């Protein structure tokens, strides 16, 4: 048990008389310890039942030079005098009755100590008066952790049984001693041996050493300001008990220690109101606020101010007010390339910028919401266009694209609002449009599907309507464009005769150059491709000529037709265009007999008698077809 209670030096008043004439050292008291009744009277205590006249203490001091010393006690002016001292021997005698309940527990007085040249005046304050033995609590050490401040010895005595001490200490390593209480019992033996223990429920966070009174944080416990800020620990000091005026008496004292946990910067800021979703509409003005994030310092005790920043993801489109956390859009929404932006926003504590634990980040999702306010629109090479024309030769290859058409279609809306279908309305099955479904923008391609139908001889112009109609919008905005296809002719037709064969008759003896028959062939192609040249050939064609452009067949100027020699001719006629496309037809010509011969009788016929006026029967041996009777 501790009984050595040194008076703190701060409580001494040394009155030094400086002697300039002669070197002299001040007298001093012997310090024989608090338990001694001989010495400097430090921490002197006295039981209230002490009888008046008792010699309670002996002041004991000396002078370095060996000069004789004298002792004295003074009380404050007007205060009751309790003690007297023998000037030469230092015997201190109680001269007034002590009553703890009535009188102050502390009695202040001064011990005067002097010799021939100088004197020391020592204030001995306080003197403790107890009922029978003294018990007081004294905090020894208080650590402020973690901090640069070294452990501070506490030099104030706590005399009242219930000292409430406000201790500000920060998060303290487990097991470290945070505080030491000390009870002093001036009794000796078991009556003066003190045990310490804790009384209240917070014993589960703190422990006290039975013997030393050192208070510690229990192993495994971490004090966290964010969870509990104050603890009340009631410590009990109890002596071993002893005799007082014949009775066994156990004394105890309790003191409540209030432990205030001090906050430290151990918690990063916390975003409140997460998750964050913001929307930018197409008509949102540049600079408008989209969403505001709020973070607070997790350290609630002395929260730092927060500043906000966008770490990434804004792509120059968003800004944050570093003080308020308001995020605003700084680009025109139509220039926002993405539909969804994921911003990483950081909240940092001002003053702890470099500390990893002092910032936190969150994701802010900003969706760019499109309004369906644009129809699909067709563009030509120089802006919007509603009519597109192209000229091409008939019968292009199937699968070929109409290269002459440069059509772009786009819908400035976004997402589903910009999805539309393309249709080609007009004569079916001839062309096909690609693509059929467009998102935002596309080059329109028109592909030949049926070449045969693209015939200049049928249509010289083909007209279609190109339709773009939104698919998924309630408005179903649409646009149309006219597609006009001018066809150019090609020599795609061969001449065609009006008949596969021609039959003609010509009397014999027709003069040379007589017309026989006219043939006609038609070629619908335009220009020279439709101009035909007729020729004839074949074995029977020698006697005939054909006019190359009119198709009139006539006899050679020199030709003499004689049915008797050859009454039938057969040859071919050819109609040919400028590129040699041709077709053939057959021509059959019969030469009609005329009476171009005098009758000649054969020997046997001439022998017959001919009577004019009477029918003559002539038998012609070779000519069966024609019987001519000539009257002479």
Residues of this chain that interact with ligand NAG (CB under 6 A) are 30, 32, 38, 60, 86, 89, 91, 161-162, 254, 256, 264-266, 307, 322, 354-355, 357, 379, 408, 410, 412, 441
C-alpha dist (Å) from residue 185 to 17, 248, 303: 38, 16, 45
**409 or 519: CB nearest ligand NAG:** 409
Tokens of 538: 């074949």
CA 27 from chain centre, in angstroms, equals 83
**24 or 440: CB nearest ligand NAG:** 440
**251 or 341: CB nearest ligand NAG:** 251
Distance in angstroms (rounded) separating the CA atoms of residues 60 and 113: 10
**234 or 463: CB nearest ligand NAG:** 234
Distance in angstroms (rounded) separating the CA atoms of residues 574 and 576: 6
Q: What are phi and psi of 629, to 5 degrees?
A: -115, 125
Distance in angstroms (rounded) separating the CA atoms of residues 92 and 55: 6
C-alpha dist (Å) from residue 582 to 11, 105, 443, 537, 588: 142, 147, 44, 14, 20
313: left (phi over 0), alpha (psi -120 to 50) or beta: left
Polymer length of the chain: 632
**288 or 595: CB nearest ligand NAG:** 288
List the one residue out of 60, 47, 128 whose CA is nearest residue 92: 60
Distance in angstroms (rounded) separating the CA atoms of residues 96 and 54: 10
Q: How near is the Cβ of 61 to ligand NAG at its closest, in Å?
A: 8
What is the DSSP-derived secondary structure letter of residue 106?
A: B
**268 or 551: CB nearest ligand NAG:** 268
Tokens of 243: 């005799």
Q: How near is the Cβ of 418 to ligand NAG at its closest, in Å?
A: 9
**48 or 266: CB nearest ligand NAG:** 266
Q: How near is the Cβ of 350 to ligand NAG at its closest, in Å?
A: 6
**199 or 526: CB nearest ligand NAG:** 199
566-570 long-range contacts, Cβ below 8 Å, gap at least 24?
Answer: 566/591, 567/508, 567/591, 567/592, 567/593, 568/540, 569/540, 569/541, 569/543, 569/544, 570/538, 570/539, 570/540
CA angle 412, 416, 421 (to 5 degrees): 80
**92 or 546: CB nearest ligand NAG:** 92
Q: How near is the Cβ of 305 to ligand NAG at its closest, in Å?
A: 9
Q: What are phi and psi of 202, to 5 degrees?
A: -75, 10
Distance in angstroms (rounded) separating the CA atoms of residues 345 and 338: 18
Q: How near is the Cβ of 376 to ligand NAG at its closest, in Å?
A: 10
Q: How near is the Cβ of 529 to ligand NAG at its closest, in Å?
A: 41
Q: How near is the Cβ of 397 to ligand NAG at its closest, in Å?
A: 28
Residue that the structure tokens 């919007």 belong to: 384
**30 or 537: CB nearest ligand NAG:** 30
Q: How near is the Cβ of 158 to ligand NAG at its closest, in Å?
A: 12
Q: How near is the Cβ of 90 to ligand NAG at its closest, in Å?
A: 7
Q: What is the residue-wise DSSP string for 303-318?
A: PPPEEEEEEES-TTSE
Q: How near is the Cβ of 91 to ligand NAG at its closest, in Å?
A: 4
What residues form DSSP beta bridges with 231? 259
What is the DSSP-derived secondary structure letter of residue 525?
A: S
Is residue 258 helix, strand or coil?
strand
**376 or 551: CB nearest ligand NAG:** 376
Distance in angstroms (rounded) separating the CA atoms of residues 544 and 560: 11
Q: How near is the Cβ of 60 to ligand NAG at its closest, in Å?
A: 4
Residue 605: its H or E element? helix 603-606
Note whether 291 and 327 are within 8 A (CB).
yes
Q: How near is the Cβ of 164 to ligand NAG at its closest, in Å?
A: 9
Residue that the structure tokens 């999702």 belong to: 365
Note whether 419 and 397 are within 8 A (CB).
no
Q: How near is the Cβ of 335 to ligand NAG at its closest, in Å?
A: 11
Burial status of residue 567 (CB atoms within 10 A of its CB: 0-12, 13-18, 19 or more): middle
**322 or 520: CB nearest ligand NAG:** 322
**418 or 430: CB nearest ligand NAG:** 418
Q: Where in 155-246 does DSSP place strands (E)?
A: 165-169, 177-185, 194-198, 206-208, 214-217, 230-239, 242-244
Q: How near is the Cβ of 198 to ligand NAG at its closest, in Å?
A: 13
**89 or 601: CB nearest ligand NAG:** 89
**422 or 532: CB nearest ligand NAG:** 422
Q: How near is the Cβ of 325 to ligand NAG at its closest, in Å?
A: 12
């Amino acid at each position: 048990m501790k009984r050595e209670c040194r008076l703190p030096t701060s409580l001494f008043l040394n009155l030094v008389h400086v002697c300039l004439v002669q070197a002299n050292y001040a007298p001093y008291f012997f310090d024989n310890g608090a338990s001694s009744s001989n010495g400097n009277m430090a921490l002197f205590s006295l039981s209230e039942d002490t009888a008046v006249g008792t010699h309670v203490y002996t002041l004991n001091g000396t002078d370095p030079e060996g000069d004789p010393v004298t002792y004295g006690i003074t009380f404050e002016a007007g205060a009751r005098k309790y003690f007297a001292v023998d000037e030469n021997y230092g015997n201190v005698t109680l001269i007034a009755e002590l009553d703890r309940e009535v009188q102050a527990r502390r009695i202040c007085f001064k011990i005067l100590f002097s010799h021939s040249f100088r004197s020391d005046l020592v204030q001995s304050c306080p003197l403790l008066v107890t009922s029978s033995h003294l018990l007081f609590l004294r905090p020894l050490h208080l650590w402020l952790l973690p901090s640069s401040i070294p452990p501070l010895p506490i030099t104030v005595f706590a005399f009242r049984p219930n000292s409430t001490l406000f201790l500000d200490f920060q998060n303290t390593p487990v097991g470290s001693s945070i505080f030491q209480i000390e009870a002093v019992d001036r009794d000796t033996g078991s009556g003066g041996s003190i045990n310490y223990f804790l009384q209240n429920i917070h014993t589960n966070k703190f422990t006290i050493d039975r013997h030393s009174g050192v208070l510690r944080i229990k192993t495994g416990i971490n004090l966290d300001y964010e969870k509990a800020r104050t603890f009340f620990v009631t410590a009990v000091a109890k002596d071993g008990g002893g005799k007082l005026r014949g009775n066994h008496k156990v004394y105890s004292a309790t003191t409540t220690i209030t432990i205030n946990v001090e906050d430290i910067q151990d918690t990063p800021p916390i975003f409140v109101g997460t998750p964050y979703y913001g929307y930018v509409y197409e008509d949102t003005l540049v600079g408008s606020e989209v969403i505001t994030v709020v973070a607070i310092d997790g350290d609630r005790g002395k929260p730092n101010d927060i500043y906000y920043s966008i770490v990434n993801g804004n792509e120059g489109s968003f800004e944050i007010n570093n003080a308020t956390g308001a995020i605003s859009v700084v680009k025109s929404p139509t220039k926002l390339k993405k539909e969804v932006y994921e911003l990483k926003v950081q909240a940092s504590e001002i003053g702890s910028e470099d500390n990893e634990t002092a910032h936190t980040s969150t994701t802010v999702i900003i969706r760019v919401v499109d309004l369906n306010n644009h129809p699909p629109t067709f563009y030509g090479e120089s802006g919007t266009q509603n009519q597109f024309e192209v000229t091409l030769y008939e019968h292009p290859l199937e699968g070929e694209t109409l290269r002459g058409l440069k059509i772009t279609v786009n819908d400035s809306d976004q997402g589903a609002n910009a999805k539309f279908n393309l249709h080609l309305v007009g004569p079916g099955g001839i062309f096909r449009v690609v693509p059929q479904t467009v998102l935002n923008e596309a080059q329109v391609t028109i592909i030949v599907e049926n070449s045969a139908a693209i015939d200049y001889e049928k249509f010289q112009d083909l007209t279609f309507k190109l339709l773009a109609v939104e698919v998924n919008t309630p408005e179903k905005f649409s646009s149309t464009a006219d597609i006009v296809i001018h066809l150019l002719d090609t020599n795609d037709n061969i001449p065609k005769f009006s008949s596969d064969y021609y039959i003609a008759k010509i009397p014999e003896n027709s003069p040379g150059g007589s017309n026989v028959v006219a043939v006609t062939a038609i070629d619908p192609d335009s220009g020279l491709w439709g101009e035909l040249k007729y020729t004839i050939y074949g074995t029977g064609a020698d006697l005939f000529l054909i006019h190359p452009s009119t198709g009139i067949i006539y006899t050679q100027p020199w030709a003499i037709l004689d049915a008797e020699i050859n009454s039938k001719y057969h040859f071919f006629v050819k109609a040919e265009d400028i590129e040699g496309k041709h077709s053939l037809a057959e021509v059959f010509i019969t030469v009609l007999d005329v009476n171009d011969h005098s009758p000649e009788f054969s020997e046997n016929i001439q022998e017959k008698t001919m009577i004019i006026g009477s029918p003559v029967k002539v038998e012609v041996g070779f000519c069966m077809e024609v019987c001519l009777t000539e009257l002479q």
